[in-house]
Amino acid sequence: MAEAKKAYTRDMNYVPDRITRDARRPEHGPVAGELWPVEPGRYRLVAAAACPWANRSIIVRKLLGLEDVISLGMPGPVHDERSWTFDLDPGGRDPVLGIERLQEAYLKRLPDYSRGITVPAIVEESTGKLITNDFRWITHDLFHEWKEFHREDAPDLWPVRLREEMDEVMERIFTEVNNGVYRCGFAGSQDAYDEAYDRLFTALDWLEERLTDQRYLMGEAITEADVRLFTTLARFDAVYHGHFKCNRQTLAELPALWGYARDLFQTPGFGETIDFDQIKRHYYVVHTTINPTQIVPKGPDPGAWLTPSNRG
């Protein structure tokens, strides 16, 4: 194997359909697939609590008050090579879609689909067909396209005046932190791991400095950028520090980031979406090449997340 191929690269090819108001062309982002209309009660968000990419969609749905507008199906934390499964539901079937595997919704839409079965995914309830699994645009569109159905006090997750800077911050968070922990964990060589490790902690040092003098990433209010960083931080000490060898420091040893993460955890819409048992089972059981014994660690103590953050 060539050295360059030993560095982890995420497959970023997703079903590119988007759900927009009246199936209009969106103002931001690509339109590489079909456009579907916003319609309450038509779609089901399938999102596993274990997965950080899915977790962000669960949080945004809660923050915007869309629980009665878009239903939520939650697969269990452990899956095989074929698909996420609904083993937490009675009879092992999603109660709305009636399927055992998320793969069934993918194949109903795309019979020859051969890529990974990922969450989050949005499925049309009436047909059971996948609409999109492009996590990059799912939360963006929940904010921009479903505004008519947001609760009255929903936060402004995408402030217009901060959009340009926020895009830059979120891009760095994605490449260096969200995906950076995976580059460490799935590195195929020492050199690839060392480079990934250095990039990750350079970014965490930047975030530590940024959050030392301001409460949230973009200032004094929560934005989508905070949602995207939080889901990685919530998994850092429980999984990434040991399992992915991101072990220069624990999150709890980074004062600003640890206070910031607890502040968000204790904010309605965030902490109640975190299930540390499911998170640990997913990573330590599914990743058998990294953890062949499939032993799940007992710690760390989740009670630490409820200690005062002193960020207000």
Integer Cα distance of 286 and 9 in angstroms: 19
Q: Which of 14, 43, 51, 284 is catalytic?
A: 51
Residues facing 72 on adjacent strands:
45
> H-type helices in the chain, by residue range?
52-64, 103-109, 135-144, 163-173, 180-185, 190-210, 224-235, 255-265, 276-286
Our answer to whether residue 184 is catalytic in this structure is no
Judged by DSSP in three states, 19 sits in: strand
The two structure tokens encoding residue 70: 């878009």
Nearest Cα residue to 207 out of 239, 185, 187, 233? 233
Nearest Cα residue to 63 out of 162, 179, 137, 146? 146
Integer Cα distance of 259 and 186 in angstroms: 29
The two structure tokens encoding residue 244: 């992915």
> Angle, to 10 degrees, between the axis of helix 276-286 and the axis of helix 224-235?
60
Integer Cα distance of 146 and 81 in angstroms: 34
Residues facing 73 on adjacent strands:
46
Q: Which of 14, 43, 106, 182 is catalytic?
A: 182
The residue count of the chain comes to 312
Nearest Cα residue to 263 out of 300, 228, 238, 234? 234
Our answer to whether residue 182 is catalytic in this structure is yes
Integer Cα distance of 104 and 130 in angstroms: 9
Integer Cα distance of 129 and 166 in angstroms: 33
Indicate which residues carry an active-site annotation: 51, 182
